[in-house]
C-alpha cells in the first residue's frame, strides 16, 4: 500500500440536506482505508464498483483499501451506463447483503460514478456512496454535485437521480495511469469552468496549455474547478433556477450530448464531444451578439491546443442531431435551452434561439443533410 499521503485540500459541499468533503491531493490509499475501517466498525457493509481498466491498473487500491471488500467489475466505456449494467449492479448489492446502512464505493471515471451513484440512490430507496474518481474529468466535474444516471436509446442521462456522495477522494496520483486521450478529455471540463465563470483560468490555459498529470499547476486547477462547482451546487442543487444557476454547467453539453447520441456512445469520449460543443456554443454566442469572431477563434484555439476536436470527425446528419437535441433533458416546455457566453468567463442560459442558427452552426462543424 502507498503510505505517502499529502495533506489533502478539503472543499466542503453543502446542500439543503447534507454536507460532505471533497479531498484533493496525492496518495490517498491509507486515508481511504481508515474511512472504510470506520464504516465497517459502525456495522456498515461496504462494496466497490469499478471497471475493467481501473481494476487492472490501480493495484495499490485493490491490494490496499479494497483488499477485503467485494468488488463488482463492469465493462469499460460509456455503454456501461445502461439499464443492463444498472440491473447487474443492483444484483451485486443484493448478493453482498448491502442493507440500508451499506456504502457503495465508485472507483472509476464518470461512467462508473454515474452508474454506481444511481444504483445507490435507488437500492432500498437510497444508500450512501463514496466517489473515488480515477479520471481528470470525473475529478473536476462528474464526481461532484450528486448527479447520477444512466443512458437509454432516447438520450444521455435521461434516467437518473440527484444523490450526493458522503465523500469524494480525488487522488491525483491515479492520473499517471490515465491515457493521454482521456487526460485531454478531462481538460475539456477544466476549460469549461474558465469559459463560464473564471476568465483568469481560461487565459492561463490559453497562454500555457495543461497537458500532463505531472504539471505542477494541476492540484490548484482541480481545487479551483471543484470549488466553483461546489459553489454552484450549494446554490442550486437540483437545477431549479429559472435562469443561470446549475444549468450554466451545461455549457457545450446540448451540442455535445447530441454528438455522442448520434455518433454512437463511445465513438467520442464525453470531453471530446463537449469540446466540439464549446466551439458550437461560442459560434451561437457570436450569432446572438455576445462574442466577437476573435473570441470564437480563442475558444477554438484553446480547445485545439489541448488535443481536442473543434469540429465533427466525420459527417453526422443534422436531422438526427436535432432529434437528439429535442430529447435532451435540458429541454424546457418543448424549447431547446442553450448555455451561451456573454463574454469569455461569463455565461448565461438562452431559450429563444432560432433553429436556423443552430442548423447553420451544425453545417459549419461538419453536419450534413
pLDDT tens column, 23-58: 999 999 999 999 999 999 999 999 999 999 999 999
The pLDDT confidence band at residue 243, using thresholds 50, 70 and 90, is low
Q: Which residue has the higher pLDDT, 80 or 238?
A: 80
Annotated catalytic residue 163: no
Annotated catalytic residue 7: no
Catalytic residue among 182, 189, 237, 272: 189
Residue 222's contacts (CB-CB under 8 Å, 6 or more residues apart) are 24, 136, 139, 140, 170, 172
CATH 1.20.1090.10 residue window(s) in the chain: 180-368
Span 88-144, pLDDT tens digits: 999 999 999 999 999 999 999 999 999 999 999 999 999 999 999 999 999 998 998
Catalytic residue among 128, 253, 298, 330: 253
pLDDT for the residue numbered 170:
96
The pLDDT confidence band at residue 366, using thresholds 50, 70 and 90, is very high
Span 206-218, pLDDT tens digits: 999 999 999 999 9
Catalytic residue among 76, 156, 257, 298: 257
- Percent of the chain whose pLDDT exceeds 90: 80
Annotated catalytic residue 306: no
> The cell 451578439 sits on which residue?
289
Annotated catalytic residue 253: yes
pLDDT for the residue numbered 328:
73
pLDDT for the residue numbered 177:
87
Span 314-329, mean pLDDT? 90
The pLDDT confidence band at residue 189, using thresholds 50, 70 and 90, is very high
The pLDDT confidence band at residue 3, using thresholds 50, 70 and 90, is very low
**d(Cα 127, Cα 100) in Å, to the nearest integer?**
6
Residue from 174, 64, 165 nearest 105 by CA:
165
Q: Which residue has the higher pLDDT, 102 or 157?
A: 102
pLDDT for the residue numbered 331:
63
Catalytic residue among 151, 157, 225, 250: 250
Catalytic residue among 4, 41, 125, 242: 125
Our CA angle for 345, 271, 117, nearest 5°, is: 100
Annotated catalytic residue 72: no
Span 245-271, mean pLDDT? 92
Span 180-188, mean pLDDT? 96
Q: Which CATH code for domain 180-368?
A: 1.20.1090.10
Catalytic residue among 35, 76, 246, 306: 246
pLDDT surpassing 70 at residue 178? yes
**Residue 28 in grid coordinates:** 490517498
Query: 3-class secondary structure for 47-94?
Result: EEEEEHHHHHHCHHHHCCCCCCCCEEEECCCHHHCCHHHHHHHHHHHH
pLDDT for the residue numbered 332:
60
Span 261-301, pLDDT tens digits: 999 988 999 999 999 999 999 999 999 999 999 999 999 99
Residue from 65, 56, 207, 51 nearest 133 by CA:
51
Catalytic residue among 128, 270, 298, 330: 270
The pLDDT confidence band at residue 15, using thresholds 50, 70 and 90, is confident
Looking at the domain covering 9-177, what would its CATH class be?
alpha beta
Amino acid at each position: 500500500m502507498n503510505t505517502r499521503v499529502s495533506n489533502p485540500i478539503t472543499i466542503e459541499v453543502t446542500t439543503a440536506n447534507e454536507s460532505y468533503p471533497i479531498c484533493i491531493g496525492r496518495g490517498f490509499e491509507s486515508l481511504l482505508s481508515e474511512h472504510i475501517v470506520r464504516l465497517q466498525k459502525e456495522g456498515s457493509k461496504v462494496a466497490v464498483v469499478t471497471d475493467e481498466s481501473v481494476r487492472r491498473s490501480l493495484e495499490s487500491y485493490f491490494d490496499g483499501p479494497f483488499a477485503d471488500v467485494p468488488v463488482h467489475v463492469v465493462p469499460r466505456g460509456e455503454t456501461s451506463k445502461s439499464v443492463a449494467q444498472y440491473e447487474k449492479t443492483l444484483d451485486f448489492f443484493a448478493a453482498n447483503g448491502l442493507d440500508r446502512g451499506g456504502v457503495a464505493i465508485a472507483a472509476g471515471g464518470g461512467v462508473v460514478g454515474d452508474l454506481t451513484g444511481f444504483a445507490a440512490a435507488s437500492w432500498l430507496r437510497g444508500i450512501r456512496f463514496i466517489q473515488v474518481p480515477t479520471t481528470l474529468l470525473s475529478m473536476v466535474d462528474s464526481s461532484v454535485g450528486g448527479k447520477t444516471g444512466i443512458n437509454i436509446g432516447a438520450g444521455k442521462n435521461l434516467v437518473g437521480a440527484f444523490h450526493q456522495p458522503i465523500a469524494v477522494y480525488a487522488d491525483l496520483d491515479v492520473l499517471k495511469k490515465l491515457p493521454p486521450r482521456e487526460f485531454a478529455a478531462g481538460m475539456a471540463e477544466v476549460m469549461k469552468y474558465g469559459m463560464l465563470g473564471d476568465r483568469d483560468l481560461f487565459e492561463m490555459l490559453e497562454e500555457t496549455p495543461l497537458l500532463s498529470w505531472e504539471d505542477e499547476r494541476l492540484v490548484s486547477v482541480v481545487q479551483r474547478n471543484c470549488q466553483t462547482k461546489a459553489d454552484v451546487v450549494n446554490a442550486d442543487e437540483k437545477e431549479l433556477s429559472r435562469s443561470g444557476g446549475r444549468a450554466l454547467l451545461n455549457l457545450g453539453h446540448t451540442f455535445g450530448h447530441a454528438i455522442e447520441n448520434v455518433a454512437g456512445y463511445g465513438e467520442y469520449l464525453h470531453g471530446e464531444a463537449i469540446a466540439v460543443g464549446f466551439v458550437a456554443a461560442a459560434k451561437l454566442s457570436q450569432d446572438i451578439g455576445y462574442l466577437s469572431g476573435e473570441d470564437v477563434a480563442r475558444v477554438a484555439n484553446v480547445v485545439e491546443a489541448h488535443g481536442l476536436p473543434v469540429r465533427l470527425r466525420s459527417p453526422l446528419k443534422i436531422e438526427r442531431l436535432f432529434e437528439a437535441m429535442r430529447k435532451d433533458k435540458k429541454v424546457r416546455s418543448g424549447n431547446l435551452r442553450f448555455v451561451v457566453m456573454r463574454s469569455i468567463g461569463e455565461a448565461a442560459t438562452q431559450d429563444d434561439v432560432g433553429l436556423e442558427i443552430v442548423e447553420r452552426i451544425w453545417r459549419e462543424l461538419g453536419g450534413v443533410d
